[in-house]
Structure formats: C-alpha cells, structure tokens
C-alpha cells in the first residue's frame, strides 16, 4: 500500500501524518478518511481551489492533471509547479509527500 505523507500544517495536522492508503484513492478522500479536514467547498467536483495542495515528492506518479484542473489551479493561492487539487490527485502505487497551503481562496465563504 502506498503511503501519503502529509507535512505538518498549523491547524489541520500540526505534527504531520503518515497514512497508508489504497491506490486509486484521491489525496482528498484519504485525508478526510483519516480526520484531516482539507477544505473542499465544491464537494470534490473540480469547481474551486480550496483543496489545493503541493505534492512535494512523488508528483510524477500521479495521473496528469486534466484541463479543468489546470484551469482551476490558475486561480489558486500560492500555485507552483507542484500544485494539484487534492480532489483530483489520484494516488497510484508510489508514496506521496503533500503539503497543505496555509491559505486558500474560498470564493463561497468570501462572498464573491
């Protein structure tokens, strides 16, 4: 089973987490199943950027981002070459190291 290593995040998982997960699971679903409440305002439909994460190791093992995901990432806070939407990043058979950004852009909660 691959491991999903989540780096420490001030509020969501201060000590970081190492999760054993099934291949074929999204980063978001794996985190939620283990009590790490990554925001997901669009309910996992690739229609917002609140589940934006940085894949620090293992990014090349993920399926390529869709055009819809790339379009959404253009709107994310702090996007960089390691950026993915956790709801779209499907873990394969390799371990991943993921960092959750400190901030997100939630247009729903920000009233935009």
Helix residue ranges, H only, 34-100: 67-73
pLDDT > 90 in the chain, percent: 89
The reply to whether 27 falls in a domain is: yes
pLDDT at position 111 over 90 = no
CATH of the domain at 40: 3.10.20.30
pLDDT digits (tens, 9 = 90+) for 29-39: 999 999 999 99
Question: Do the bridges between strand 52-57 and strand 83-85 make them parallel or antiparallel, or are there none, so unpaired?
Answer: antiparallel
**What span, in angstroms and rounded, lies between the C-alpha atoms of 54 and 59?**
9
pLDDT at position 106 over 90 = no
Tell me which residue range forms the domain holding 33. Answer: 3-99
Number of domains the chain contains: 1
Categorise residue 63: left if φ over 0, alpha if ψ from -120 to 50, beta otherwise: beta
Rg (CA), the chain: 13
Q: Which two tokens stand for residue 90?
A: 């499907």
- Overall pTM > 0.95: no
């Amino acid at each position: 089973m691959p491991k999903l290593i989540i780096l420490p995040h001030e509020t969501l998982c201060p000590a970081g987490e190492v999760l054993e997960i099934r291949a074929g699971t999204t980063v978001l679903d794996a985190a939620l199943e283990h009590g790490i409440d990554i925001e997901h305002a669009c309910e996992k439909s690739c229609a917002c950027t609140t589940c934006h994460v940085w894949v620090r190791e293992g990014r090349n093992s993920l399926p390529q981002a869709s055009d819809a995901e790339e379009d959404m990432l253009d709107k994310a806070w702090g996007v960089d070459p390691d950026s993915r939407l956790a709801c779209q990043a499907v873990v394969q058979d390799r371990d991943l190291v993921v960092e959750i950004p400190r901030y997100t852009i939630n247009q729903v909660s920000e009233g935009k």
